[in-house]
Amino acid sequence: MKRRTALPSALGIALATIVCGRTPGPSDQTSGETGPPIKIVAVDVGATNESGAVEVPAAIESSRRAILTSRLAASVVAFGPREGDRVNAGAVLVRLEDTTLKAALSAAEAADVAAARDLKRAEALLARGAATRNEVENAATAAERTRSAVVAAREAAAHASVRAPFAGRIARKLASAGDIVNPGQPLLELEGAGGLEVVASIEGAIHERLRVGQRIEVRLDGTETSFFATVHDLASSADPSTHRYTLRADIPERNGVRAGLFARLLVPSPGGGSRVLVPSGAILRRGGLTGVYVVRDGRAWLRWIAPGDAIGDFIEIRAGLDERERVALEPSRLHDGAPVTEDGR
């Protein structure tokens, strides 16, 4: 009598594996895990967005700015003002070496005097019948040429003195006395007196919410100062290297607001409602999923979420979190159910 051996099916093997146990993955840890707690930094979800607006870093700049450049290849002889000095319109700011230019001007003026004398002599000879009309015309052409040469030489000599196109303050010196400069090389940056503007580099998601003429709230960093600025320039195309847009908004005259200060723009959320945001440092990406570690009862629990737009240093959360929860930063150090303790607690 033959003995039959029954072979387990693939389904049976799979069921046996499930019943008898399996190797747990990173998110399969149980809340009963023991071990020293991991020190973490946790933040409140939505705590940075209580007003329903997104903060965007910005800077206060003068709305009237000019970068003065050299129009000559020469050395810098004198650099009068210092950074921060105020200057009047027409003031000489930089002097360049002009010895050769002055010599060229003197030669042009001498040639002009000689040409004018020749023209006068030719006209006198023509009146006595001792010269032809053609000789007078040639002398007149020569005199016109030398007069043009004098104008060009004077213009070139004037370029040796770089003057302020308007009254303002020296923001930056970009050259020093003794430097050899070339045509087009920047020498200094001048900020005009008067109006100020706030300038920010914004992402596409924020760009879509703004328009020229819109009033937007501005807060100065480190102070309680808050005011509204009016958007007057919103770049229609992004910078190809950063994929960000430049925004400029006019600032009304206010005491204590000056160029060089840092500020933050408060960009309203769509519909004026609040948005759930978390710092980008709290986001965990694993495969095609996005998650955060929610801190609760002394443990970090992995929560998969539906992310939205990146807004500055924050990520919008469309589903999976609410403002009553806390999330851990640096999620790569954690696993589901890990015991944690917050720094400072």
pLDDT of res. 25: 42
CA–CA distance, 334 with 300 (Å, rounded to integer): 7
Mean pLDDT of 81-109: 92
Q: Once rounded to an integer, what is the mean pLDDT over residues 78-97? A: 90
DSSP 87-143: E-TT-EEEEE--HHHHHHHHHHHHHHHHHHHHHHHHHHHHHTTSS-HHHHHHHHHHH
* Residue with the larger pLDDT of the pair 81 and 110: 110
- State how far the alpha carbon of 240 is from the alpha carbons of 178, 237, 243, 248, 287, in Å: 37, 9, 5, 19, 28
Tell me if 239 sits within 8 A of 274, measured CB to CB: no
Q: Phi then psi for 248, rounded to 5 degrees?
A: -130, 135
Query: Tokens in use for 319?
Result: 């589903």
Residue 260's pLDDT band (cuts 50, 70, 90): confident
**Cα separation, 48 vs 66, whole angstroms:** 37
pLDDT band at 270 (very low <50, low <70, confident <90, very high): low
What's residue 16's pLDDT? 36
pLDDT bin (cut points 50, 70, 90) of residue 273 is low
CATH 2.40.420.20: does it fit domain 29-50+275-342? Answer: yes
Stronger pLDDT, 86 or 10, i.e. the higher one:
86
What CA–CA distance (Å, rounded) separates 155 from 105?
9
Give pLDDT, residue 113.
Answer: 95
The 10s digit of each residue's pLDDT in 282-298 is 899 888 899 999 998 88
Architecture of domain 98-159: Orthogonal Bundle (1.10)
Question: 3.40.50.2300, 1.10.530.10, 2.30.30.140, 2.40.50.100: which CATH number matches 74-94+161-193?
Answer: 2.40.50.100
- Residue 268's pLDDT is 72
Buried b or exposed e, range 119-147, using 16+ CB within 10 angstroms: beebeeebeeeebeeebbeebeebbeebe
Confidence of residue 99 (pLDDT cuts 50, 70, 90): very high
CATH 1.10.287, the chain: domain bounds:
98-159
Is 164 in contact with 91 (CB distance < 8 Å)? Answer: yes
Q: Of 55 and 58, which is predicted with more confidence?
A: 58
- The average pLDDT across 317-339 equals 86
Average pLDDT, the chain: 82
pLDDT for position 41: 86
**Quick one: pLDDT at residue 269?**
64
Listed in order, the ranges of the chain carrying CATH 2.40.420.20 are: 29-50+275-342
Which one of 74-78, 203-207, 265-269 scores highest in mean pLDDT?
Answer: 74-78
Average pLDDT of the segment spanning 53-81: 88
Give the model's pLDDT for residue 26: 42
Q: Where are the CATH 2.40.50.100 domain residues in the chain?
A: 74-94+161-193
Mean pLDDT of 197-201: 92
Lowest average pLDDT, out of 27-41, 136-150, 189-203, goes to 27-41
State residue 184's pLDDT score.
Answer: 93
pLDDT at 46: 65
Q: Within 13 Å and on the Cβ side, how many CA atoms surround 197?
A: 18
Q: Kindly list the distances between the CA atom of residue 94 and the CA atoms of 66, 113, 186, 216, 340, in Å, as whole numbers in the listed order.
A: 15, 32, 11, 40, 63
Measured CA to CA, the distance from residue 345 to residue 334 in angstroms comes to: 18
Question: What is the reported pLDDT for 326?
Answer: 86
CA 242 – CA 219 distance, rounded (Å): 25
CATH for 53-63+194-270 is 2.40.30.170
Q: Residues with Cβ < 8 Å from 176, sequence gap 6 or more?
A: 76, 79
Structure confidence at residue 1 (pLDDT): 41
Of the listed ranges 96-105, 144-153, 188-197, the least confidently predicted one is 188-197
Q: How far apart are CA 274 and CA 284, in angstroms?
A: 23
Amino acid type, 30: T
Confidence grade of residue 242 (pLDDT, cut at 50, 70, 90): confident
On whether the CB atoms of residues 33 and 24 are closer than 8 A, the answer is: no
